[in-house]
């Protein structure tokens, strides 16, 4: 009688959600953005705010090969920059300052902040990783800038540094 080999197959079932971080291969997420530049210059005599600045904030997460499809939820927050509060933020040139803000919506009503300080919100999303592929996934979010009208300031270049943080 001929010899027959037998193979033993083992199927391991893991509960959904209980090990999402392990199943996503301990993802690593980063955030990148270009500058929020108002371009040609602020006109202190205009009765309209300067809404000429936008920037793209990109969140990218990388996961290793997966044993099941998974998702990585994330949240993006901004600090107030060099200002003491989020409303308004301030750009400066020496001792002079120019009030502005960063918003999550094109109507410039919702201030992008930490979601804790009164009147601020964060931006959130979910990146989906299909079964067995892993790799990198990214999502773009728009930031909308506004310099408020009617500020009489010295001419020159005004700057601020705002820290962007992704939590996942």
Q: Render pLDDT for 90-126 as a digit per residue (tens, 0 to 9).
A: 999 999 999 999 999 999 999 999 999 999 999 999 9
Residues 6+ apart with CB under 8 A from 65: 25, 132, 133, 134
Which residues of the chain have a pLDDT value below 70?
Answer: 1-23, 65-66, 133
Q: Is the omega angle on the peptide bond into residue 5 within 30 degrees of 0, that is, cis?
A: no
Cα 106–Cα 110–Cα 113 angle in degrees, nearest 5 = 115
What pLDDT, on a 0 to 100 scale, did the predictor assign at position 23? 57
Closest-CA residue to 111 (of 73, 85, 139, 75): 85
The predicted pLDDT at position 16 comes to: 27
Q: Are the beta carbons of 92 and 34 closer than 8 angstroms?
A: no
Is the whole-model pTM more than 0.85?
no
**What is the predicted pLDDT for the residue at 96?**
94
Domains and CATH numbers, the chain: 20-167 (2.60.40)
The whole-number pLDDT of residue 8 equals 29
């Amino acid at each position: 009688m001929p010899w027959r080999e037998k193979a033993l197959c083992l199927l391991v079932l893991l509960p959904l959600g209980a090990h999402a971080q392990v199943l996503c291969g301990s993802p690593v997420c980063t955030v990148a953005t270009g500058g929020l530049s108002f371009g040609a210059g602020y006109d202190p005599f205009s009765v309209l705010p300067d809404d000429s600045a936008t920037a793209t904030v990109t969140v990218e997460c990388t996961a290793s090969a997966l044993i099941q499809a998974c998702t990585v939820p994330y949240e993006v927050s901004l600090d107030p920059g060099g200002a003491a509060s989020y409303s308004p933020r301030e750009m400066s040139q020496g001792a002079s300052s120019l009030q502005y803000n960063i918003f999550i919506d094109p109507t410039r009503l919702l201030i992008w902040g930490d979601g804790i300080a009164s009147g601020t919100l964060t931006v959130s999303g979910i990146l989906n990783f299909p079964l067995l592929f892993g790799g990198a996934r990214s999502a773009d979010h728009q930031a909308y800038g506004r310099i408020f009208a009617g500020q009489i300031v010295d001419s020159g270049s005004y700057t601020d540094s705002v820290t962007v943080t992704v939590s996942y």
